[in-house]
Amino acid sequence: MIDLSKIKNALHLDELEKIRVELLGKNGVITNEFKRMKEIPNEQKREFAKNLNEMKEKAAALIAQKKAELEEKALELKLKSEKLDVSMFSNRSQIGALHPVNMTMDKIIDFFTRMNFSVETGPLIEDEFHNFEALNLPKYHPARDMQDTFYMSDGTLLRTHTSPVQIRTMMNQKPPIRMISPGAVFRRDYDLTHTPMFHQVEGLVVDEEGKVSFANLKFMLESFLVEMFGDVKVRFRPSFFPFTEPSAEADISCIFCEGKGCRVCSHTGWLEVLGCGIVDPNVFKAVGYENVSGYAFGLGVERFAMLIHRINDLRSMYEGDLRLMEQFK
Amino acid sequence: MIVTRKWLEEFIDLKDFSTEEISDGLNSIGQEVEAVKKIRIADKVVVGYVEECEKHPDADKLNICQVNVGSEVTQIVCGAKNVSKDQYVAVSVVGAVLPGNFKIKKAKLRGVESFGMICSSTEIGLPKLEDGIMVLDNSIGELEVGKNVSEYLDDDIIELGVTANRGDSFSILGIARELSAKFNIPLKEISAYEDDKNAEGLGRLFQIEGDIDNSSHYLKGFNIENDNIPFKIRYRLSLVEEKVTNNICDFATYTTVATGVITTIYDNYKKLIFKTENRIDVVKSEEKIIYETGIKMIKMPENRLGNFIIDTNFIEPEIVSTIVYETKIKTDEIFFRSSRGSNPDLKLGMNYIINELNLVNAKIYNGSYDLTNEIEKKVLSVNLEDIYSIIGEVIDENKIVNILNKLQIKTEVNSSEKSIKLEIPPFRHDLVNKYDIAEEILRVYGIDTLTSKPLIFAEKNRINDTIKKIEFLKSIREKAVANGFFETLHFVFDSKERYKKYSIPVIKDNEDILNPIVTELDTLRQTTILQLLDAASFNKKNGYKKLSLFTIGSVYNELREESQKIGFVWSGAKYKENIAHNKNETVDFAFFVEKLSSILGDFELVEDKHIILSHPYQSAKVLIDGVEVGFIAKLHPKIAKDFDLDDTFIAEFFIDSLPNKEFKAKDIVKIQKSTRDLSLVVDKNQNYNEIKKEIETLNIVEIVEFYPIDIFDLDTKNSLTLRFILQNSEKSLTDEEINGIIAQVIEKLKELGIELR
């Protein structure tokens, strides 16, 4: 009798193929049985053929089934052999990072452009008129001391704030104006908490006389500071800037101690973050504007970046220090 | 400006307010409190009276004192030179704990027992007042032996950041005035001095002569026979960090700080000449200048006792500032006050100093010289509607009047016109227009009380080229980050010396920075590369191996024209080491170019040996659509060595030359593309660009693109394999057609002497 149990016991695909050839190949056992047909008496032929065909089909079916089974097993083995320790591939990005000051600048620009402000820029080398005089900083003002300003040998200077862009914009455009001007500014100061170059964002809104009020300024800056620092309290303290009147400084409740008082906020619970005010009439006079009203504000981007990202060392930001930058991936 | 609570209380009654409430109040009206310091003298430091003082028998420098400390007379050995009999002193008795946890114990000094310590000011935590021990007197209150010194000296110090426009607040009186407005408490009067008709006349002391243009002076004279400056004056001046001279000048400084009236004291010159010389109002004696009004004290009094002249004086801040600015004359601390606006109430200043002098029994001469210019009354009329629109809120009229009156601004309301006529007090130099008045109202009203309101405005398209450029740059920056670069930030300053060293042209001296902060930052940069190399070098020292940085910023050419560049540096390893990249592969030209292409898009490289800082045989101009936009190069190995870097690649591009492409799609051709590779034998120094141009001259539309895919050494020549992608937009190309095209290419390349391999 033909033994089909071998099929079931086959362990490998090779072995199974060998069995298939043994059974169904040209010289296979079953093939050879068919060859015996002519020896079978006629009356038994029908029965013999029927049995043999059944046998052949059964063998083929068993082989196919076993083959699928063994293939699946082989694949399983192969997959198993490909096993990786995926945990070794954690946290290995090859990307770089944006600079925290520029990231902060981007965020500030995003806020104000969404509030329908335009973005304006101006040259870093400025003249006395745009940097000082037009901003109600007369020649004898203490802020114009040689101590603070980088002068060029031809009498020009490196802008000490982004405010000259306000003047340029007002002189080139007509009200209404809603603008911010981000950029680098320069002061002659270099120590732990000062770098000779840093970044500011200046804002200016000008509209008809009687239209723009301190209450409007307060609304805009409160929205802005909450957007930048999250859920903070905002307070305004009256202050003084030559180019605004009334002037104020805006504080946020300390983000480190939530207003309880800590080293960073000098135990006051508040952090000073920007200066602002109603545009002084002398500024409008300098650019030839009449019957207008406006507000202006200015902030230091490095200070924002340091507070938002909890960076303690100002100077490390200008050294390209990867120990710092890597943390912003 | 520093004020002390006790000094303030001379001018205003603050007993209902804690120091915390006072500082909060000051903050809320725009007098920024920078620090609050509390002076608290330790327990068991008591007032003592030196009854006996003898030299120590065995030590020249020591004195044996018998000191009455109230409960007893105790023996104290004291090393101070200035200790003597009949002094009131601060005594730390046994058991006292002084600052620095210094415990006072019974001691034996060279065999003599000592029960405590006679203290100097610094030993009990005060500023230094004099050499040796601190000698007290009744100026700080009737001294009672045995009483704690803290009762006399404890005080709270408030440090204020007074803004430059508020000259009126640079005095104790000025801050008292602010508190009076904030808390609605009246100011105390400074008692006026009445001349003693029997006293000797001022004319007997000195005469005056001449006239001056800009300033006011009010003069009196006095005689003093005691050269001890009262303790209170020296102590308070030291607390507010003013200079203590221990001579008659302390009276003048004390008065100036207290009242804001500039007060100067001169020796007893027989004749004072007032004259305007070179625009400066000077006080002279004979030919010598004693004082430049509001600018500088030239000749301090030299005498300690006898007759002196007091001069309370004033000059308009704008006048004195302009003169100083234009004449570049040297100034002292007097100018700090006069330029911000000192108190013009000269008689008030005079009353104050005379009251202090009377306390030390000075004799005041009868009469005065008055060189006062009449100060014009400043009157201002403001419309209430204007005030409301500046502030953005309607504030009750009575409230406004009340605020202004508290600030000593006299008001007259015109109800029908809704306006107020204001008379500005002479010490408020800063109040000139309605905006200033709005600020006064707002600061006392409280900005925090004000309701925020959104501005209603007309829509306008405010998208301009600047924001488009910022957004374009942002996309480049983000791609740079995705390709492994870290963004850095650098000063636009660089060192002229190293620019010269690396043969980079510099700005002409007469256009360069006049007052650089350090010599390493004495010119404006022309390139960002050197600073990127600094940063790479810095990070390498910190152990980083993959140094890939970029920066964007302004640079200047030799003509000092500003433009913006984006610079890239990649030095050392290609990858941050990890399980997959552990073979220390170092960056090469192909890798660097591929990274930059992934950021900027495809570009063409053209050999250029003259690029700054570069390896002459691995350097290229970068062209995009035929326009030069920058360079890519290997850093010259000599320079790499200067920065202590290994193989380093650099690139820099002009931002304004980089195209911000708008993509326009062509119809997709669905016909199958064919590929053919062509292996060529080329000369070693054959430039690929020439091959490329040669093939392009054929202008065969079916060649969609071609590019080198392999190059290798064949002894004297190179083997170069080019891949051609071919496609016809209408039909598939037959082999024959393809062979025909390739044959044309081969034929063309023969002109360059290039053969098939």
Which pLDDT tens digit goes with each residue over B516-543? Answer: 999 999 999 999 999 999 999 999 999 9
Share of chain A above pLDDT 90, in %: 67
Q: State how far the alpha carbon of B95 is from the alpha carbons of A63, B79, B108, B136, in Å.
A: 106, 20, 16, 22
Select the more confidently predicted residue: A235 or A259: A235
Separation CA B268–CA B725 (nearest Å):
105
* Mean pLDDT of all residues in A255-265: 85
* Mean pLDDT of all residues in A133-149: 77
Is residue B610 over pLDDT 60? yes
Write out chain B residues lying below 8 Å of A141, CB-based: 164, 321
Nearest chain B residue to A115, by CA: B462
CB contacts < 8 Å between A and B, how many? 260
Could B580 and A219 be called an inter-chain contact, meaning their C-beta atoms sit closer than 8 Å? no
Which of A:131-170 have CB within 8 Å of B?
139-143, 146, 150-154, 158
Q: Where are the alpha helices (DSSP H) in B188-230?
A: none
pLDDT in tens, A48-74: 888 888 988 988 999 999 999 999 999
* Mean pLDDT of all residues in B588-608: 95
List the one residue out of B106, B102, B84, B81 whose CA is nearest residue B93: B106
DSSP reduced 3-state for B601: coil
Could A214 and B318 be called an inter-chain contact, meaning their C-beta atoms sit closer than 8 Å? no
Q: Where are the alpha helices (DSSP H) in B102-243?
A: 150-153, 172-183, 231-239
Nearest chain B residue to A138, by CA: B322
Share of chain B above pLDDT 70, in %: 100
- Range with the lowest mean pLDDT among A1-10, B387-396, B590-599? A1-10
pLDDT at A315: 87
DSSP reduced 3-state for A304: helix
pLDDT band at A43 (very low <50, low <70, confident <90, very high): confident
Q: Which residues contact B131 (CB under 8 A, 6 or more apart)?
A: B81, B82
Tell me which residue in A120, A218, A238 faces B29 most closely, judged by beta carbons. Answer: A238
pLDDT in tens, B706-753: 999 999 998 889 999 999 999 998 888 999 999 999 999 999 999 888
* Mean pLDDT of all residues in B412-417: 90
Residue with tokens 């492994």: B484
Could B32 and A188 be called an inter-chain contact, meaning their C-beta atoms sit closer than 8 Å? no
pLDDT at B331: 93
ipTM exceeding cut-off 0.90 for this assembly: no
Write out chain A residues lying below 8 Å of B568, CB-based: none
Select the more confidently predicted residue: B139 or A5: B139
pLDDT in tens, B241-279: 999 999 999 999 999 999 999 999 999 999 999 999 999
Could A121 and B450 be called an inter-chain contact, meaning their C-beta atoms sit closer than 8 Å? no
> Which run of H or E residues covers position A56?
helix A42-81
Could A237 and B447 be called an inter-chain contact, meaning their C-beta atoms sit closer than 8 Å? yes
Write out chain A residues lying below 8 Å of B463, CB-based: 118
pLDDT at B687: 87
* Mean pLDDT of all residues in A161-185: 96
Tell me which residue in B393, B492, B511 faces A153 most closely, judged by beta carbons. Answer: B511
Could B491 and A325 be called an inter-chain contact, meaning their C-beta atoms sit closer than 8 Å? no
Structure tokens at B741: 């095209």
- Alpha carbon of A142: minimum distance to chain B alpha carbons (Å): 9
CATH code given to domain A100-328: 3.30.930.10
Tell me which residue in A95, A117, A195 faces B484 most closely, judged by beta carbons. Answer: A95
pLDDT at A144: 67
* Mean pLDDT of all residues in B92-120: 91
pLDDT band at B69 (very low <50, low <70, confident <90, very high): very high
Residue with tokens 């600018």: B295
Is residue B330 over pLDDT 90? yes
Q: Where are the alpha helices (DSSP H) in B271-381?
A: 317-327, 333-340, 346-359
Is residue B323 over pLDDT 90? yes
Amino acid at A283: V
- In degrees and rounded to multiples of 5, residue B333 shows phi and psi of -60, -20
Is residue A143 over pLDDT 70? no
Tell me which residue in A121, A152, A205 faces B513 most closely, judged by beta carbons. Answer: A152
List the one residue out of A174, A172, A198, A169 whose CA is nearest residue A185: A198
Q: What is the pTM of this model?
A: 0.85
pLDDT at B352: 97
Domains of chain B: 2-40+157-183 (3.30.56.10), 45-153 (2.40.50.140), 202-371 (3.50.40.10), 378-446 (3.30.56.10), 466-657 (3.30.930.10), 674-756 (3.30.70.380)
pLDDT in tens, B641-686: 999 999 999 999 999 999 887 788 888 888 889 999 999 999 988 8
Does residue A188 belong to the interface with chain B, where contact is any CB pair within 8 Å? yes
Half-sphere exposure of B189 (CA within 13 A, CB side): 3
Across chain A, mean pLDDT equals: 91
Peptide bond between residue B57 and the one before it cis (omega within 30 degrees of 0): no
Tell me which residue in B390, B438, B517 faces A188 most closely, judged by beta carbons. Answer: B517
pLDDT band at B373 (very low <50, low <70, confident <90, very high): confident
Is residue A140 over pLDDT 80? no
Going through B69-153 in order, the beta strands assigned E by DSSP cover 73-78, 88-92, 97-98, 102-103, 107-109, 112-114, 117-118, 135-136
Half-sphere exposure of A50 (CA within 13 A, CB side): 5
8 Å CB contact between B208 and B221: no
Is residue A215 over pLDDT 70? yes
Does residue A174 belong to the interface with chain B, where contact is any CB pair within 8 Å? no
pLDDT at B577: 85
Does residue A227 belong to the interface with chain B, where contact is any CB pair within 8 Å? no
- Range with the lowest mean pLDDT among A261-270, B129-138, B413-422? A261-270
Is residue A1 over pLDDT 70? no
Nearest chain B residue to A295, by CA: B390
8 Å CB contact between A308 and A229: yes
- Each domain of chain A, given as residue ranges in start order, spans 5-89, 100-328
Select the more confidently predicted residue: B227 or A248: A248
Nearest chain A residue to B438, by CA: A246
pLDDT in tens, B552-583: 999 999 999 999 999 999 999 999 888 888 77
pLDDT in tens, B424-461: 999 998 899 999 999 999 999 999 999 999 999 999 99
pLDDT at A77: 92
- Which among A115, A186, A214, A267 is the top mutation candidate for probing chain B, defined by the most B β-carbons within 10 Å of its own β-carbon? A214
- In degrees and rounded to multiples of 5, residue A303 shows phi and psi of -60, -45
Across chain B, mean pLDDT equals: 93
List the one residue out of B513, B471, B164, B460 whose CA is nearest residue B339: B164
Nearest chain A residue to B454, by CA: A216
Is residue A268 over pLDDT 90? no
Is residue A142 over pLDDT 70? no
